[in-house]
């Protein structure tokens, strides 16, 4: 039933009531006109009393019909309103509801407007959900840590990078930052941000392991609160320290041979040439220092070319054992001078994918390093094996003093010396192992060092199998 029909029903009930009352009045008028004069007074009074009762009954019946019709129309109308209210409440709870009412008039227009509002809300919700997902993806992928604080200083958001930096295993509950961390400098920085002051600070957060971070706080003036952004600068500071050490070490390494050359040349010029035996010693010292200086410059140039990607490589299958034998032949004189026994182990058919010149450079530096630290009468083993499919492992094992675990990771850094005093005595530029590391990584390999069973050191190189 449509709303217009309900209105017609209500109007019909009113018309019916009016007709009943009108008919009663017309009947009374005819009766009075035709019969009242022909009857006695008592009869007229009795008839009027009956007529009044009939008219009252008719009027009551008409009013009852009108009331029933009005109630039915009101019920049909309020039923649609209740449906509208129920749907509205479901939409308010986040349900995707539409109102389907077969109604006309103002109620039909209201239902249509409600459906349009529902569609707009749904589109806005979908758009908001996409933006939230995009923001979540960005925050999770960020290398920088982000911590959002509300106006009360409570943590509302912390991405994985921030949780790692602050040592939080899981997303933190809604608590004040001071309750989640006892690191006073960070809490003080956050307080400045909540007070409306943008600030920054570089500090070492007490995580495991401790890392150095550059932390910036930005106040959120429009909504209240602040945002902390944590940028891990540990690697940058380590590189800066390495650069400073490199400059200092290069300066020291250059100064030593240059000082020797200068002092000996001045002595010769001051009259040392007259004593031939002394002059020869000074000249030999000059030659040794110049050779050391030349090796240092050569290693620096090689390292620079490798790091800049200018060291051209031609990778091809090479027999590992032949490469080891060639390196040993070239250094046979040094091996004999040191009085060290060198053994070769490996299969002749084992191939490695490497550049010939680079592999020779790597093996020469590793063997030279082993000879320096192996005592006279000691042993060095050059070994080639295939630990697993697709890889070849080359090992250089000595029975020297070995390396402490804390030195094993840093021994491949430029100019790093586990025992500076002993390293100076045995000579070298301090760049050999660093060159080894860069060359091996350029050939898609890995390099490392562990303690040898003999008590010395075991340097290993893993390269793709040829």
pLDDT of residue 333: 82
Residue of higher predicted confidence among 402 and 446:
446
- H or E, element range at 115: helix 105-141
Q: What is the CATH number of domain 315-464?
A: 3.30.565.10
Least Cα distance to 198 among 227, 178, 230, 222 occurs for 227
Least Cα distance to 384 among 323, 456, 436, 437 occurs for 323
Residue of higher predicted confidence among 344 and 424:
344
Structure-token pair, residue 174: 């809604």
Which segment, 130-134, 294-298, 317-321, 389-393, is predicted with the most confidence on average? 317-321
Q: Could you tell me if 431 and 296 are in contact, meaning their C-beta atoms sit under 8 angstroms apart?
A: yes
Give the C-alpha separation, 416 to 423, whole Å. Answer: 10
Q: Is 26's pLDDT higher than 60?
A: no
pLDDT of residue 25: 55
Residue of higher predicted confidence among 146 and 466:
146
- H or E, element range at 359: helix 356-373
pLDDT of residue 5: 45
pLDDT, tens only, 46-61: 766 776 777 777 777 7
Q: Where are the domains of the chain?
A: 1-141, 143-232, 239-308, 315-464
- Average pLDDT estimate for 99-123: 71
How distant, in Å, are the alpha carbons of 82, 83, 375 from that of 7? 19, 20, 115
Give the C-alpha separation, 287 to 267, whole Å. Answer: 15
pLDDT of residue 47: 66
CATH fold for domain 143-232: Beta-Lactamase (3.30.450)
Q: Is 456 exposed, middle or buried (0-12, 13-18, 19+ CB in 10 A)?
A: buried
Give the C-alpha separation, 304 to 301, whole Å. Answer: 5
- Average pLDDT estimate for 307-321: 80
- Average pLDDT estimate for 110-136: 79
Q: Could you tell me if 122 and 94 are in contact, meaning their C-beta atoms sit under 8 angstroms apart?
A: no
Q: Is 2's pLDDT higher than 50?
A: no
What percent of the chain stands above pLDDT 90? 0
pLDDT of residue 67: 75
pTM across the whole model = 0.49
What percent of the chain stands above pLDDT 70? 78
Q: Is 39's pLDDT higher than 70?
A: no
Q: Is the dihedral of CA 82, 88, 91, 97 positive or negative?
A: positive
422 falls in which pLDDT band (50, 70, 90)?
Answer: very low
Residue of higher predicted confidence among 290 and 429:
290
Q: At what angle do helices 320-330 and 356-373 cross, to 10 degrees?
A: 50
Give the C-alpha separation, 3 to 80, whole Å. Answer: 10
335 falls in which pLDDT band (50, 70, 90)?
Answer: confident
Class of the CATH domain delimited by 239-308 = mainly alpha
Return mean pLDDT, the chain.
77
Residues 385-407 as b or e (16 or more Cβ within 10 Å = b): ebeeeeebbbbbbbbbebbeeee
pLDDT, tens only, 240-266: 877 787 777 777 777 877 888 888 888
Q: Could you tell me if 286 and 269 are in contact, meaning their C-beta atoms sit under 8 angstroms apart?
A: no
Least Cα distance to 305 among 361, 252, 247 occurs for 361
pLDDT of residue 20: 55
Residue of higher predicted confidence among 360 and 401:
360
pLDDT of residue 404: 73
pLDDT of residue 180: 82
pLDDT of residue 35: 53
């Amino acid at each position: 039933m449509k709303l217009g029909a309900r209105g017609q029903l209500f109007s019909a009930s009113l018309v019916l009531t009016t007709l009943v009352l009108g008919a009663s009045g017309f009947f009374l008028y005819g009766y009075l006109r035709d019969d009242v004069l022909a009857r006695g007074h008592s009869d007229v009074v009795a008839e009027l009393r009956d007529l009044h009762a009939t008219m009252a009954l008719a009027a009551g019946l008409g009013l009852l019909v009108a009331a029933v019709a009005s109630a039915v129309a009101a019920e049909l109308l309020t039923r649609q309103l209740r449906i509208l209210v129920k749907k509205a409440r479901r939409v308010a709870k986040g349900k995707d509801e539409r109102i389907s009412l077969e109604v006309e008039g103002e109620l039909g227009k209201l239902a249509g407007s409600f459906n349009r509002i529902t569609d707009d809300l749904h589109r806005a919700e979908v758009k908001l959900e996409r933006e939230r997902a995009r923001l979540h993806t960005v925050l999770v992928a960020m290398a920088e840590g982000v911590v959002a604080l509300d106006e009360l200083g409570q943590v509302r958001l912390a991405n994985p990078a921030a949780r790692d930096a602050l040592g939080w295993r899981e997303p933190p509950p809604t608590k004040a930052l001071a309750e989640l961390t006892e690191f006073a400098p960070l809490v003080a920085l956050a307080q400045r941000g909540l007070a409306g002051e943008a600030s920054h600070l570089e500090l070492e957060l007490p995580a495991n392991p401790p890392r150095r971070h550059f932390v910036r706080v930005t106040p959120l003036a429009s909504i209240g609160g602040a945002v902390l952004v944590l940028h891990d600068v540990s690697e940058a500071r380590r590189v800066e320290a390495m650069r400073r050490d490199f400059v200092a070490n290069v300066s020291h390494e250059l100064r030593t041979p240059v000082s020797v050359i200068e002092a000996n040349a001045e002595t010769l010029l001051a009259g040392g040439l007259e004593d031939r035996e002394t002059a020869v010693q000074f000249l030999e010292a000059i030659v040794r220092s110049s050779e050391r200086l030349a090796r240092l410059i050569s290693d620096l140039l090689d390292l620079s070319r490798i790091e800049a990607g200018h060291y051209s490589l031609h990778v091809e299958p090479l027999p590992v054992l032949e490469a080891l034998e060639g390196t040993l032949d070239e250094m046979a004189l040094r091996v004999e001078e040191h009085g060290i026994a060198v053994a070769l182990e490996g299969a002749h058919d084992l191939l490695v994918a490497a550049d010939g010149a680079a592999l020779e450079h790597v093996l020469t530096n590793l063997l030279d390093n082993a000879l320096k630290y192996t005592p006279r009468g000691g042993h060095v083993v050059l070994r080639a094996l295939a630990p697993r499919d697709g890889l070849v492992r080359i090992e250089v094992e000595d029975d020297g003093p070995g390396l402490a675990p804390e030195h094993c990771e840093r021994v491949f850094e430029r100019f790093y010396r586990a025992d500076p005093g002993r390293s100076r005595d045995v000579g070298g530029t301090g760049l050999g192992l660093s060159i080894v590391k860069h060359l091996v990584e350029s050939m898609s390999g890995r390099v490392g060092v562990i303690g040898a069973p003999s008590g010395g050191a075991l340097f290993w190189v893993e390269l793709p199998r040829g």
